[in-house]
Structure 1
Amino acid sequence: MSSARALRPALAEAGILANKIAGSRDFSKQIMDAAQQSKPDAVRRLIVSAGIRKNVQITYNPDGVTIDLAEQGCCKVSLSMRWR
């Protein structure tokens, strides 16, 4: 129960980020372009600009991106999206 309670803020931020990516073609293209050009600092800057404050870990490959939003020492929410 305590882990589930602690996960709520990360879930809220995951929703904010998903809404931003889904609602802005320009924003989603910027993330995809920066990731495909191997510019992790640019990807992180874009994610933070969406209002994300959690500990963020970003991994990407030619197929897509995975964004992990972590609660310290507890749990994390992962968003995995394929490029299209």
Structure 2
Amino acid sequence: MTHYYCQPMYNPVYYPNGYPVRQVTTIPYNYYYQQQVRQFPDVDPTLFEQSAKSMQHLMKEASLVLNELAKSKPFAKKVMDAAQQSNMKEVDQLIKSTGIKSKVETTFNPDGINLKLSSKVGGSDCCHLTIGLRWL
């Protein structure tokens, strides 16, 4: 049994004199649903998987920095002093001295410090891990 949704749809029919006349037709009830069904291409999770592995590496390196800041009050004081003096080179050197190899962008303000660790897969940026720590 076919069900029809009776929404009018106007298809102009022209008489020989050139004037259009509206003709009402019916549309199957699933017409609009069928129009929205889309086909998606097959996915390739290779880059996604590599990004996840790279992010795991970034998290291990972030853990190195956080462990050093948490266990060594003198180290944390050096980082804060260098940041307070806007000595970006010293802050970067201190962060790198924890043993991390990834690219790190450091920003700070009077309230705290932000560390953005980045990684590449296949020559393009894939992963970013941002750590925000407050000191005031």
Instruction: Compute the TM-score of the two structures, normalised by the length of structure 1.
Output: 0.94
- Given candidates 66, 78, 84, the residue that maps to 2:130 is 78
Q: CA deviation at 1:67?
A: 0.5
CA deviation map 1:26-79 (0-9, x unaligned): 000100110111000000000111101100000001110001111121011111
How many residues are paired up?
A: 84
Matched, 1:8 2:8: no
| Counterparts of residues 1-84 of structure 1 (less than 5 Å) | 1-2=48-49, 3-72=51-120, 73-84=125-136
Q: Which has the larger radius of gyration?
A: 2
- Long gaps (5+) in structure 2: 1-47
Judging by fraction of residues, say which structure has more helix: 1
Name the CA distance, whole Å, in 1 between partners of 2:100 and 2:83.
18
Name the CA distance, whole Å, in 2 between partners of 1:76 and 1:43.
20
- Long gaps (5+) in structure 1: none
- The list of structure 1 runs, each at least 4 consecutive aligned residues, that deviate by more than 3 angstroms after superposition, is none
Name the CA distance, whole Å, in 1 between partners of 2:54 and 2:98.
21
User: Considering only aligned residues, what root-mean-square deviation do their CA atoms show, in Å?
Assistant: 0.9
Corresponding letter in the other structure for 1:9: H
Structure with more contact order per residue of length (Cα contacts < 8 Å, sep ≥ 6): 1
Judging by fraction of residues, say which structure has more strand: 2
Corresponding letter in the other structure for 1:71: S
